[in-house]
Amino acid sequence: MVSAEPQEAGALAGQARAVLVGVDLGPGASFDPTLDELGLLAESAGDCVVAKVLAKRRSPDPALFVGSGKADEIKLLVQAHGAHGVIFDQALSPAQQRNLERHLGVPVSDRTALILEIFAARAQSHEGKLQVELARLQYIATRLVRRWTHLERQQGGIGTRGGPGEAQIELDRRMIGDRIKQVKLRLEKVKRQRGTQRRARERSGTYRVSLVGYTNAGKSTLFNALVKARTYAANQLFATLDTTTRSLYLGEAGRSVSLSDTVGFIRDLPHKLVEAFRATLQEAADADLLLHVIDASSPLLHEQQVEVERVLEEIGAETIPQILVYNKLDAIEPGQRPRVLRDELDLGAGRRVPRVFVSALAGEGLDVLRQLIAEHAGPIPDPADTGTVQVLPDGSPAGTARPPADYH
């Protein structure tokens, strides 16, 4: 199946034109028949989608992933639309990527490479940049042979021993390996610093709340609405990569809690990327309460919720208490709106999770969410029970937290 995209005519000058390819590999395999999410990823990377191609196979073709017939079809599309590249929704092996580029005559990338490109462009903090660099280095290390095949061909093709391509691959492999070690050591230092900060928060009795959720679910908009801040929020995938933490005053409990906004999750998030961002994701694993933000207007709401739960399990955060926050209530059709803003969702196996419907954009339901957070946080612990004394900025011991000047 092939479809042309209407935005082709509006492509900006200098904007790369891309053809998207998705392959249905049958039951159990990840497949998006609309390629909408891959399209959003491409747009987030600055590309203009000019066509989409869907294919169905029992298993990937070892050489071209899609087989020669479908590859010829994609090549015709590339030529017809003047595309600058092709992006696959599934992960390609280095050999498949190399063969496809030769066959199609344009650069070919996959979902993993696209996500890494976006992460590299969005990372702002020192820690975030280190984590992206580690993930990219690990990805590049598996594709070194692709970069030097042209040298092998110049020296007599396959079978040439000890040629410049082979020597250069070994040199690159050592250089990348050394750099990976350096980055890991620096990230280990960051991890220790985070551990020190975490222990300090624990000693102070600070109640920690973290926002988690699928990318573009509206976490940063909700974060801004709750703490009255202006962190970066946009209608695009991975608008936030670096963890931001602010104090959230809860008048209902007469106390403040720390609220952290974290990187969004996504389907088929590469394991290496999860590993690289483990220091950032640790903010969620160390929380006392998770606000699992879900786009209530998404037709893939259930699949996205399951994917977030999978990543939470991978980082050891699956047992932390959760509040399901169904966001974007303003985008739901009137006839589909819930009758109440707060209820409980039965997840089976005797597990019931509180759920609240909100619109971070319009402010609807935020008071209900605050109340629910306050109920989980409870009153400020008695210093006599914790063995610690909380001190306010003016030097006086903390009995009840004081509201910020702009609290209403």
> Which residues are annotated binding-site positions for GTP?
213-220, 238-242, 261-264, 327-330, 359-361
CB-based contacts of 29, cutoff 8 Å, min separation 6: none
Amino acid at 126: H
Q: At what angle do helices 111-122 and 36-44 cross, to 10 degrees?
A: 40
| Residue 351 host element (H or E) | strand 351-357
Q: Please give the order of strands across the beta sheet that includes 351-357.
A: 244-250, 255-261, 208-213, 289-295, 322-327, 351-357, 342-348
Q: What is the DSSP string of 104-166?
A: HSS-EEEHHHHHHHHHHHH--SHHHHHHHHHHHHHHHHTTHHHHTHHHHHHTTSTT-SS-HHH
Q: How far is CA 347 from the centre of its chain?
A: 24
> Count of CB atoms within 10 A of residue 242's CB?
19
Q: What is the DSSP string of 378-395?
A: -SPPPHHHHT---B-TTS
**8 Å CB contact between 54 and 24:** yes
> Count of CB atoms within 10 A of residue 235's CB?
10
According to DSSP, the residues that pair with 28 across neighbouring strands are: none
Cα–Cα distance list, 382 to 209, 253, 286, 294 (Å): 20, 14, 22, 35
Residue 99 CA to residue 85 CA, distance in Å, equals 14
**Residue ranges for the binding site?**
213-220, 238-242, 261-264, 327-330, 359-361
**Residue ranges for the binding site for Mg(2+)?**
220, 240
Q: What is the DSSP string of 239-279?
A: ---S-EEEEEEETTTTEEEEEEE-PPB-TT--HHHHHHTHH
**8 Å CB contact between 111 and 41:** yes
> Count of CB atoms within 10 A of residue 228's CB?
13
**Distance in Å from the first CA to the final CA of the chain:** 55
